[in-house]
């Protein structure tokens, strides 16, 4: 029985070869026929390989073309994307730079405003702390003066200045000088009467000094007097004789039981009262000396000029505030008065009530 072999994948134009009778299992085909069949099959395989290779080449070319086009498109898209990204980056950089610049300006302004506010707060805090310290210093000084006294020295030069201003209106007294000793007062009064020019010098021991709300007075004892007198426009001999006679007569006259020249002069002064032989009481209110002693300006100046600030607690701080220092001085009350060499010592305090 004869068979014909047909390959469905083969499309070449190779002429059909007549089917050869299949050898029987019992007999072997001749050698030429076997070669022929092999050649035929080999030719068909080569044809199919060529066809497959052609199709593969065509597909490869198509793949290459598609890949090239895709690469070009991808490259174009990448280029456009890169440009867009670059533009966005540039715009973002410009925006970031502008924002950073504006932010820096805002931060700088905030820092400047913050520094001003901080400085103002610090200044206000320092002022408040300083004011509190001054208030505390005032309270310390007040508490001390309610329980104790502070001694203020009134120089005799300031005392004389005040007395001379009071005596400007006196027609017969030209000048006055008070010297302070240890519980002793010496007054030298220059005056005139017509052509007679004189200087009367009186010495007093201070026996008592009382200063309270009800009474302010000095009790003194006269311990010495002297007179120096001369005439104007007179020769030397006449003036020498006038001095000698006047000094002697003045001494004798003041020791007679009658009204002496010193008594007449002292009793003519306001506030001076004769209490006994050579004893005198001086009312400080009527002589206006208390008004001068209570003058707050010299007290403030004295406090400011003190070298030892430890004599009054809080004075170191109060010196920087004229207002608080004056507030303290306005509360002073004179508790006592002492006569010391070159000065009057005024003891001041504050009423505990």
DSSP 237-301: HHHHHHHHHHHHHHHHHTTSSS--HHHHHHHTSTTEEEEETTEEEEETTTTTHHHHHT-HHHHHH
> Quick one: average pLDDT of 186-193?
86
What number is the average pLDDT over the span 127-147?
86
Burial 211-240 (b: 16+ CB within 10 A, else e): beeeebbbbbebeebebbbbeeeeeeeeee
Higher-pLDDT residue of 211, 9: 211
Contacts of 348 (CB under 8 A, 6+ apart): 145, 149, 150, 151, 152, 299, 332, 333, 334, 335
At residue 63, the pLDDT reads: 58
- Which pLDDT score is estimated for 70? 63
CA distance readout (Å), 285 to 12, 214, 343: 159, 10, 20
* pLDDT beyond 70 at 255: no
pLDDT category at 220 given cuts 50, 70, 90 is very high
Residue 53 has pLDDT above 50, yes or no: yes
Give the whole-angstrom CA distance, residue 334 versus residue 211.
7
More confident residue, 126 or 51: 51
- Is the confidence at residue 77, as pLDDT, over 90? no
What's the confidence (pLDDT) of residue 113? 67
User: Contact at 8 Å (CB) between 204 and 218?
Assistant: no
The span from the CA of 285 to the CA of 270, in Å, is 10
Q: What is the mean pLDDT of residues 93-104?
A: 70
Closest among 341, 352, 351 to 154, alpha carbons compared? 341
How confident is the model at residue 6, as a pLDDT?
Answer: 47
Look at residue 118 in the predicted model and tell me its pLDDT: 61
CB within 8 Å of 223: residues ≥ 6 apart? 184, 203, 204, 205, 278
Using CA atoms in the order 204, 210, 214, 215, what is the torsion angle rounded to 10 degrees? -10
- Ramachandran category for residue 212: left, alpha or beta (phi over 0 → left; psi -120 to 50 → alpha): beta
Question: For the chain, what is the mean pLDDT?
Answer: 77
Which range among 33-37, 141-145, 162-166 has the greatest average pLDDT? 141-145
The strands making up 279-283's β-sheet, listed across from edge to edge, are 173-181, 184-193, 196-211, 216-231, 279-283, 272-276
Summarize the confidence of residues 52-76 as an average pLDDT.
66
- The confidence band for 155, taking pLDDT boundaries of 50, 70 and 90, is very high
Q: How many Cβ atoms sit within 10 Å of the Cβ of residue 200? A: 19
Q: What is the pLDDT of residue 96?
A: 64
Percent of the chain with pLDDT over 70: 72
**Residue 344: burial class (beta carbons within 10 Å; 0-12, 13-18, 19+):** buried
Window from 12-16, 42-46, 176-180 with minimum mean pLDDT = 12-16
The answer to whether 284 and 269 have CB atoms below 8 angstroms apart is no
- Burial of 121: CB neighbours in 10 Å, binned 0-12, 13-18, 19+: exposed
Average pLDDT over residues 208-234: 85
Residue indicated by tokens 């004056």: 326
Higher pLDDT, 282 or 83: 282
**Under 8 Å between Cβ of 231 and 238:** yes
Residue closest to 21 by CA, chosen among 9, 6, 10, 5: 5
- The arithmetic mean of pLDDT across residues 287-314, rounded, is 87
Report the pLDDT value the prediction gives residue 33, as an integer from 0 to 100: 78
For the stretch 9-39, pLDDT in tens is 444 444 444 444 444 444 445 677 777 777 7
Number of residues in the chain: 353
Task: Tell whether the model's pLDDT for residue 174 goes beyond 70.
Answer: yes
Average pLDDT, integer, range 274-297:
86
Overall average pLDDT of the 297-304 stretch = 90
211 has a pLDDT exceeding 80: yes
Q: What was the pLDDT predicted at 74?
A: 55
Distances in Å between the Cα of 139 and the Cα atoms of 89, 210, 316, 349 are: 71, 28, 13, 14
The pLDDT value given to residue 243: 72
Pick from 283, 266, 287: which is nearest to 167 by CA? 287
Q: Would the pLDDT of 107 be above 70?
A: no
The token duo for 113 is 């405003």
166: Cβ contacts below 8 Å, ≥ 6 apart? 288
């Amino acid at each position: 029985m004869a068979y014909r072999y047909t390959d469905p994948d083969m499309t070449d134009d190779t002429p059909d070869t007549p089917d050869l009778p299949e050898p029987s299992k019992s007999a072997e085909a001749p050698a030429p026929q076997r070669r022929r069949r092999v050649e035929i099959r080999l030719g068909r395989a080569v044809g199919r390989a060529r066809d497959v290779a052609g199709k593969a080449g065509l597909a490869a070319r198509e793949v290459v073309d598609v890949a090239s086009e895709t690469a070009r498109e991808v490259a174009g898209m990448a280029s456009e994307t890169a440009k867009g990204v670059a533009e966005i980056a540039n715009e973002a950089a410009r925006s970031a730079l502008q924002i950073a610049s504006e932010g820096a300006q805002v931060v700088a302004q905030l820092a400047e405003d913050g520094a001003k506010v901080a400085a103002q707060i610090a200044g206000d805090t320092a002022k408040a702390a300083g004011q509190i310290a001054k208030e505390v210093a005032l309270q310390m000084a007040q508490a001390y003066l309610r329980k104790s006294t502070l001694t203020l020295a009134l120089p005799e030069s300031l005392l004389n200045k005040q007395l001379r201003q009071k005596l400007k209106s006196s027609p017969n007294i030209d000048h006055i000088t008070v010297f302070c000793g240890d519980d002793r007062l010496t007054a030298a009064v220059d005056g005139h009467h017509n052509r007679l020019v004189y200087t009367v010098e009186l010495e007093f021991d201070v026996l008592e000094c009382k200063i309270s709300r009800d009474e302010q007075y000095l009790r003194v004892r006269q311990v010495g007097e002297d007179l120096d007198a001369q005439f104007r426009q007179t020769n030397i001999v006449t003036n020498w004789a006038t001095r000698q006679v006047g000094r002697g007569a003045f001494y004798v006259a003041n020791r007679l039981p009658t009204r002496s020249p010193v008594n007449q002069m002292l009793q003519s002064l306001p506030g001076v009262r004769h209490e006994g032989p050579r004893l005198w009481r001086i009312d400080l209110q009527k002589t206006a000396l208390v008004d001068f002693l209570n003058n707050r300006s010299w007290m403030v100046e004295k406090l400011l000029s003190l070298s030892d600030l430890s004599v009054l607690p809080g004075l170191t701080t109060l010196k920087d505030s004229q207002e608080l220092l004056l507030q303290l001085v306005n509360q002073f009350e004179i508790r006592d008065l002492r006569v010391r060499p070159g000065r009057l010592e005024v003891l001041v305090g504050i009423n505990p009530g």
